[in-house]
Amino acid sequence: MTRRRVVITGVGAVTPLGVGADVLLRRWVAGESGIADGEGACRDFVASDHLSKKEIRRADRFAHFAMVAGDEALAAGGWSDELPYAAERISCVLATGIGGLGSLEAQHDLLRDQGAKAVSPLSVPLFMPNAGAGTLSMRYGLRGQSFSVASACAAGSHAIGVATRMIQYGDADAALTGGGEATLTPLARASFEAAGALSPSGISRPFDERRDGFVMGEGAGILLLEELEAAQARGATIYGEVLGYGSTSDAYHLTAPEPEGRHAAEAIRIALRDAGRDASQVDYVNAHGTSTPINDASETAAIKLALGEDAAQTIPVSSLKSSIGHLLGAAGAVEAIATLAALRERTLPPTIGLEQPSVGLDLDYVPLTARPFTPRGERPVALSNSFGFGGHNVVLCLEGVA
Amino acid sequence: MAATATPEAVEARIVEALASFGPDIEQVTREATFEELDIDSLDLVELAQIVEDDYGVELKGDDMKNLKTVGDAIELVVARAS
């Protein structure tokens, strides 16, 4: 039996580069940054421009981002008027690293200052990590499996992988997936700062000798996945295919990646094997590329281990986090969207701020300036890496359109 | 300090609170039902918190369950506060 194939038929994004999936790649390729004052905030996003008073009150900011990106993805897929599949056959798998942290902090302030009676009944429903999945399932009437994936900064890619498997296995015909995050809050800042993970300079420059930590960002990326033949039958526009998914764990340290990248490398190998591709067919690697000293080194090691030293030297690698910072649980989803767009445009987007290559980090990181590429095969193929606190490694193998 | 619970003050406060939950303020008439206004049990718990803060009137879940219209809520609070 051949495996059911899964294609992307709609995308939507809210990022520090603006509201919309198109603006994401356009501004990244132009070398623009959405980071200001050391953070990638979604400054252009005004919830009331997109959502009703009730929708705003009934969701945390991370779910606001997810709703707006979800509306865009469904509109792009031509789903705005009615669902093209039985509601029970549509899944909704959404990632978040932390959930509604801003709501949690605000309610905890009330609890401490005014007592238990001041706490809103909406507290837990807003900050629970599955609120995004529940909100989107209700918003669009999706009645298949819905839940959230929480694997820190790997969650966005995990969600896409899990949703892909549901469709491949036949548990669903379509899925809305991706992730949302909104943790530009005092607690998240203090925690990441205490852990030594945040950049003191406030500059995201992955793979640069001067890199000193990640820059926190916020936003959402939502993808609409459909089974290939059903998508073709309804004449859907196809943005690309999820060819492969690989996931492993370091079982090494709560926050630090395994320095030699052995288990991240295994995730890359699994994703390629799942895709039926090999290193010689990979046109581009969208790096996790956080701009922390240890991630960028261990990720470089993992890429070399998995693809082979010689092949790795020929494959361009770049990091979206150089332009928007680290969207934590939404990062993998936003990066998959940007990767698909880059494949479609036949462009290698740049690693912004990479002016002084780091000793020992010798891959082609597409420094500073985007450049065009010619696919090695009929259709371009990319890997998108995501790694999370907890030692979670996820790699997606994505194919662009011919 | 609880505010003075004149019927006019209670009505104005409840209408303002309900409008902040979603509906346009013009929709929030005494006759409007919570169902029409898409005000659900979670909203009513928040309304009860506001009423308790402002007027010292404690409303329990059972009190709220029987409320159908905006007018019902205003009358209950005015009656309890007096």
Q: What confidence tens digit (pLDDT) does each residue in A104-139 have?
A: 999 999 999 999 999 999 999 999 999 999 999 999
- Alpha-helical regions (H) of A316-372: 321-324, 331-345
pLDDT band at A58 (very low <50, low <70, confident <90, very high): very high
Taking CA atoms, A149 is separated from A152, A154, A177, A199, in Å, by 9, 9, 10, 26
**Which residue has 């981002």 as its token pair?**
A65
Do A117 and B52 make contact, defined as CB atoms within 8 angstroms?
A: yes
- Nearest chain A residue to B50, by CA: A118
| Shortest Cα–Cα distance, B6 to chain A (Å) | 24
Tell me which chain A residues have a C-beta less than 8 angstroms from the C-beta of B53: 118
Residue B2 lies in a domain: no
- Residue A198 reports pLDDT greater than 60: yes
Tell me which chain A residues have a C-beta less than 8 angstroms from the C-beta of B26: none
| Domain covering A6-233, topology | Peroxisomal Thiolase; Chain A, domain 1 (3.40.47)
B/e letters for A61-89, b = 16+ CB within 10 Å, e = fewer, are: bbbbbbbbbbbbbbebbbbeeeebbeeeb
Do A121 and B20 make contact, defined as CB atoms within 8 angstroms?
A: no
Do A57 and B45 make contact, defined as CB atoms within 8 angstroms?
A: no
* Given B24, B40, B63, B72, the catalytic residue: B40
User: Which residue in the set B38, B42, B52 is minimally distant from A122, CB to CB?
Assistant: B42
Tell me which chain B residues have a C-beta less than 8 angstroms from the C-beta of A118: 49, 53
Domain ranges for chain A: 6-233, 242-399
Query: For A344-394, what is each residue's pLDDT tens digit?
Result: 999 999 999 999 999 999 999 999 999 999 999 999 999 999 999 999 999
CA distance A276 to A3: 12
Please confirm, yes or no, whether A263 is among the known catalytic residues: no
Q: Which of A220, A382, A379, A384 is nearest to A289 (CA)?
A: A384
CA distance A176 to B42: 27
* Given A92, A326, A392, A397, the catalytic residue: A326
- Residue B61 reports pLDDT greater than 80: no
Residue B68 lies in a domain: yes
Residue B23 lies in a domain: yes
| Shortest Cα–Cα distance, B42 to chain A (Å) | 6
pLDDT reported for residue A78: 97
CA distance A316 to A260: 20
- Mean pLDDT over residues A255-262, rounded? 95
**Which residue has 């809520």 as its token pair?**
B73
Query: For A284-311, what is each residue's pLDDT tens digit?
Result: 999 999 999 999 999 999 999 999 999 9
CA distance A228 to A243: 12
| Domain covering A242-399, topology | Peroxisomal Thiolase; Chain A, domain 1 (3.40.47)
pLDDT reported for residue B5: 80
* Given A50, A158, A263, A288, the catalytic residue: A288
Whichever domain contains B56, its CATH number is 1.10.1200.10
Residue A95: both structure tokens together = 């990632």
Enclosing domain of residue B68: 7-81
Mean of pLDDT over chain A: 97
Which amino acid, A193?
E
How many independent structural domains does chain B possess? 1
Do B46 and A122 make contact, defined as CB atoms within 8 angstroms?
A: yes
Pairing of strands A347-348, A371-372: antiparallel
Do A54 and B21 make contact, defined as CB atoms within 8 angstroms?
A: yes
